[in-house]
Each structure stands twice: as structure tokens, then as C-alpha cells.
Structure 1
Amino acid sequence: MRALSDDEIRESFVNATRLELEQLELPIEHLLLEWDRVDALTWRDRRFRNRGYLVTIVGDRPVGLVLRAASGGGSRFRAAICNFCHTQQPADQVTMFTVRRPGDAGERGDTVGTYLCADLSCQENVRLHAPLAPAEVRKLTEDMRVAGLRRRTLAFVEGVLQPA
């Protein structure tokens, strides 16, 4: 991913309300980010607990989405798999996130949802050398895991952008 300025990040959000954009606080980590080692910038909002953000490049332009985490958590005694990084984790560390579609569809309440790592750490998880879960077997190389994450992230973002 190419480096993005603060303004590019803020202007990339296609489904944010005016209030959400005013409240948007960029993560301090983006100042130190090795942009060539990530395919998406993701973070949870520190002030608004159920809000998260995803910014990635689609085509040649940055596209940002405001994510809403479902309230309540999964059982810590079961396992769940993130749909982006395919990492197996305790169920309370994977959360359903919904994304309001941009434009009229989103204003009518149309959303798209998926299960993601609760802390949105998918970029880091695919780059770990050892599996997070004892039962998880990593047969794929890091490059293959990163490519899969990129492919699934883009497919999700493009699905959100499609007319309902």
C-alpha cells in the first residue's frame, strides 16, 4: 500500500456521516507505519468503542469504510475464524462488524457484515511466524497469507461499494 497523508485518509471514507468525520481520530500508529508492509490501515476508535475503520487502495484511490462492531461478545470457550486473515482465535476475539453502504442504500439502512478480528489486527496476524491458536496449522507461506488477506479485503470493500 502506498503512504497516505492524513487528508487522504480522512477524504477516503465513502460511508461516513459528517459527524463521524468530525469525530474521526487517526491512530497514532499511522505515523510510524511501514506502508509497504500493509494492504489496509485498520483501527478501532478509542472514544467510540463500537466503531472501527478500514482504509485500503481500490484501483488507484484510497477507499475508507466506517465499521460498526456488534455489541456483546462471543463465548470465550469456543473458537472463531476471522473472514479476512483466516486466523483461528477464541470467539470473544472475533467480532461481527457491519458496514453501512455508501449513498442512498446506506441512508435506507442497507449494510454488509463480516466477522473480523475484534482488534482489527489482521495485517499483523498474517505476518506471524507461529499460529495464534494451538490447533491452527499454518501450511501457507507468509506471502500466501498476505495475498489471501489482500484478496479477501478487496472483495469485501468492493462488495460494500456495489449497488444493493
Structure 2
Amino acid sequence: MEPLDEATIRASFVNCSKGEARRLSMPGRLGEVGWADLDFLGWRDPKAPANAYLVLPRYGEVVGLAMRAAAPHKSQLKRSLCALCQTTHAAADVSLFAARRIGQAGKLGNTVGTYICADLACSLYIRGKRKPSTPTPRVSSTVDDEVARTMASLNKFVDEVLTDNA
């Protein structure tokens, strides 16, 4: 992923108001982000952990989504699968994230949800730079194949958010 500045990130959000985008917490120091290891930038607000954000390159543009995380699962015994990167984690380490749809549908409260690694670090799990708390063998495929599958799943989620079906 190409490095992004704060103005580009804030301007990228499609499912929140400009005021909400201006007020959201940024992901720490952008100069210290390991952009080369990321396919998308994802973070949670440290002051309001239910607030989460994804920013990704999409068809030559940058698209940002504001999301809400469901309450974390308490079990460390059960396992859950991230719908994006297909990494298996303890159930507490995968969250249901809901994003408001754009347009009238979003104004009516319509959302789209999917299960994603709670720390939004799918790119790092794919590359083996971060290990899940309950490691499982990965499917024997290349990193490029896993990145392509993850981004296809993420783009499908974004397509749903960008659908105003009111």
C-alpha cells in the first residue's frame, strides 16, 4: 500500500459525514506505519474501541469506511474465522464489524457486517508478521494469492457498503 497522509485518509471516508471524518481518531503516527506490509490500513479508536476504520486503495482511489465493532466474545476456547484473510483465531480475537451504508439507506440505519480480525491486522497475518493466539496451519498458497483473496473479500464488503438500497 502506498503511504497516505492524514488529509487523504480523512477525505476518503464514504459512509460518514465530513464532520465525523474530521473528528475521528487517526492511527497513531502515520510516518511509522509499515506501509509496505499493508494491503489496507485498519485501526480502532483507542479512546472508543467500538469505533473502527478501514482505508484501502480501490480502483485508483482511496476509500475509507467507518465501522462499529460488536462487543467482544468472551471465549478463548472457541475459534472464529476472519472473513477477509481466513485466519483462525480465538473467538475473542475476531469481531463483527458493521458499516453504515451510503446514501438514504445509511440515513435509515441500514448497515452491512462481516467478521474481521479484531485488531484489523489481516495483512500482517497473511505475511506471517503477526501470529494468531490459536495458530492453525495456513492453506498452502502464496502470499500473493492470499492477498488477492483478502482484497476480493474486502472489496465485496465495500461494494455492499456502497450500495444505497433504500
What TM-score, normalized to structure 2? 0.89
Which residue does the alignment assign to 1:8? Answer: 8
Which residue does the alignment assign to 1:148? Answer: 149
CA contact (8 A) 1:131 1:138 kept: no
Any idea what SS the aligned residue of 2:112 has?
strand
CA contact (8 A) 2:76 2:92 kept: yes
Deviations 1:24-47 (A, max 9, x none): 121125322343432211001111
Unaligned 5+ residue runs, structure 2?
Answer: none
**Which shows bigger deviation, 36-45 or 7-16?**
36-45
Q: Sequence identity of aligned pairs in percent?
A: 36
2:152 counterpart letter in structure 1: R
1:153 counterpart letter in structure 2: L
Q: Quote the offset at 1:20 in angstroms.
A: 2.7
Which residue does the alignment assign to 1:138? Answer: 139
Q: Quote the offset at 1:129 in angstroms.
A: 7.0
Which residue does the alignment assign to 1:124? Answer: 124
Which residue does the alignment assign to 2:62? Answer: 62
CA contact (8 A) 2:85 2:149 kept: yes
Corresponding pairs, count: 164
Which residue does the alignment assign to 1:50? Answer: 50
Any idea what SS the aligned residue of 1:71 has?
coil
Which residue does the alignment assign to 1:76? Answer: 76
2:46 counterpart letter in structure 1: R
Q: Distance in 1 between matches of 2:70 and 2:130?
A: 29
**Which shows bigger deviation, 112-121 or 33-42?**
33-42
Q: Quote the offset at 1:79 in angstroms.
A: 0.6
CA contact (8 A) 1:50 1:69 kept: yes
Say yes or no: does 1:105 pair with 2:100: no
What TM-score, normalized to structure 1? 0.90
Alpha-carbon RMSD = 1.9
Unaligned 5+ residue runs, structure 1?
Answer: none
Q: Quote the offset at 1:137 in angstroms.
A: 3.6
Q: Quote the offset at 1:142 in angstroms.
A: 1.6
Q: Distance in 2 between matches of 1:19 and 1:72?
A: 28
